[in-house]
Structure 1
Amino acid sequence: MVPGFARSAQHGTTSTNGTGDTDMGYATTTDGVEIFYKDWGPRDAPVIFFHHGWPLSADDWDAQMLFFLAEGYRVVAHDRRGHGRSSQVWDGHDMDHYADDVAAVVNHLGVQGAVHVGHSTGGGEVIHYVARHGEDKVAKAVLISAVPPLMVKTNDNPDGLDKSVFDDFQSQVASNRAQFYQDVPAGPFYGYNRDGATPSEGIIRNWWRQGMMGSAKAHYDGIVAFSQTDFTEDLKNASLPVLVMHGEDDQIVPFELSGKKSAELAPNAMLKTYPGFPHGMPTTHADTINADLLAFIRD
């Protein structure tokens, strides 16, 4: 639990929007974990619920939350357990708990008919939440550069990435997380390792800041959660509209083994691809991603 934040929530000093409703606070899960959330916008407006990627936080959605708030939507984003400002518990860092934690926030806020938007690991969280808790409170789902259906190579998924790739991720988190969290955004996450790219020091530092706010244990275990969870049945059983958005130059979650397959599995899916866009395209290409999200949500 992050000192100060949880105490302020428990003592009723969370920020308000002037109507008595909280703009941020905590929802408590069934196993006692405090999940931090932001909740901006009119209480009666349509809701967009954002799910962040590994190892980041709700702050990674700044460009989307501000945009959709200005468009008249109510925007919600949470910090996954062990990430950002949520409780740094040692256990429960798996997709079942992640989905149940989302349900705790949804129930706490009473949001109905929300569009759930997930980036990377957050995309897996979205589709697993829908499968585990039903579609009655969900209008549409959006998977951006997302990990489903399955990242790791198995007998049934021969095109996946070798488990040694993710073992190396865990080794780097355990040995020098601070350096690893510098190298990832400075390189493949935003495509800054490509010829002609112009790295943004602010974006790189913001990624590092978000990562280092979270728990090393949560991030270590989360690598298994995002790489080894099989979302195939979740996708097949999703009857709601699903937008799959994926950059064709995604070096973290390659399009051919993820976005392409997800769009084929979900029965009511629409696929949008982006030539040259990197994994972190909601940040590097926010104008394009926001416009396409808005069109899908309004459709």
Structure 2
Amino acid sequence: MPYITTTDGTEIFYKDWGSGQPIIFSHGWPLNSDAWDVELKLAADNGFRAIAHDRRGHGRSSQTWLGNDMDTYAADLAELVDALNLSDIILVGHSTGGGEAVRFAAQHGAGRVAKIATAGAVPPVMVKSETNPEGTPIEVFDGLRAGVLADRSQFFKDLSESFFGINHGFDVSPGQRDQFWRLGMQMGLKGAYDCIKAFSETDFTEDLKALDVPIFIAHGGDDQIVPIAAAAEKTIKLVKNGTLKVYPGAPHGIAGAYQQELDKDLLEFWQS
């Protein structure tokens, strides 16, 4: 399996399918690059080079004690881009991966990134504060941390209900829920715990303001994990060249009818 080794000795696993203009896919928490397999094949089938990595602490990459923060995630991605000598890059990020893509583009991607697509992404900032009253209270994230520590396996099974909107009647197969659990259980405990702070408390406001490439912002209208009012609806006001599409009734997890519609829109955006 292909890996790169970063300057701090972390092994980052990645997939590299097809050839053409590169598209890099960044996954959400608690998943890994397998979550993007359908989109990787879609990209490679349509003349793109599809690349997806497992973030440190996730999947097949090293389970590091340190570096489970957004700056390091973006730096790891930059080292992957350097190792593969990539340019004219399209970035695609879901949830936490949307934050990773935005930070990479703002801090490491000048002259190398052509366009960005996000889905259910965490920017500009998730946690509630006086300046972000639409955000999610810190107690919710404390609850996630407690769940990860107490019984991670059952916690991920329970979390899939709201992740995929099953509790709101969204049609997702039992297999999809099992896959969510499987990918979550491949993640290291320390990475799982630390990443909650990374995705919930990192402020991407200045990163978004710095972007000057086209950005397609997709968000489920019934996203219970990253509520749209504190995320996409604010992001579109901060970027210079953005397009927002809301998928009515769609959840946070990319599955079912939402995935089918989103993939059509992603392919159109990549080819535009």
**Which of 148, 153, 164 is matched with 2:128 structurally?**
153
Does structure 2 retain, via aligned residues, the 8 Å contact 1:115–1:139? yes
**Which of 191, 195, 199 is matched with 2:165 structurally?**
191
Does structure 2 retain, via aligned residues, the 8 Å contact 1:36–1:85? yes
Shift of 1:47: 1.0
TM-score normalised by length of structure 1: 0.89
Q: Distance in 1 between matches of 2:72 and 2:117?
A: 20
Shift of 1:283: 5.6
TM-score normalised by length of structure 2: 0.97
Shift of 1:91: 1.0
List per-residue Cα deviations over 1:126-178 (Å, max 9, x = no partner).
00001111321111011110000000012221221110000000000011100
User: Residues 195-214 of structure 1: matches in 2 within 5 Å?
Assistant: 195=169, 197-214=170-187
Paired residues, number? 272
What secondary structure sits across from 1:281 in the alignment? Answer: coil
Q: Does 1:237 align with 2:202?
A: no
Larger radius of gyration: 1
Q: Does 1:89 align with 2:64?
A: yes
1:11 maps to none
Q: Which amino acid aligns with 1:177?
A: R
Q: Distance in 1 between matches of 2:245 and 2:171?
A: 25
Shift of 1:213: 0.6
Fraction of identical pairs, as percent:
48
1:224 maps to 197
Does structure 2 retain, via aligned residues, the 8 Å contact 1:37–1:77? yes
Shift of 1:219: 0.6
Q: Distance in 2 between matches of 1:179 and 1:208?
A: 9
User: Residues 157-176 of structure 1: matches in 2 within 5 Å?
Assistant: 157-176=132-151
Q: Distance in 1 between matches of 2:150 and 2:102?
A: 32
Q: Does 1:77 align with 2:28?
A: no
1:68–1:243 Cα change, 3 Å: same
Q: Distance in 1 between matches of 2:257 and 2:265?
A: 15
Shift of 1:284: 5.1
List, as ranges, runs of 4+ consecutive aligned residues in structure 1 with deviation greater than 4 Å: none
Superposition RMSD on alpha carbons, in Å?
Answer: 1.1
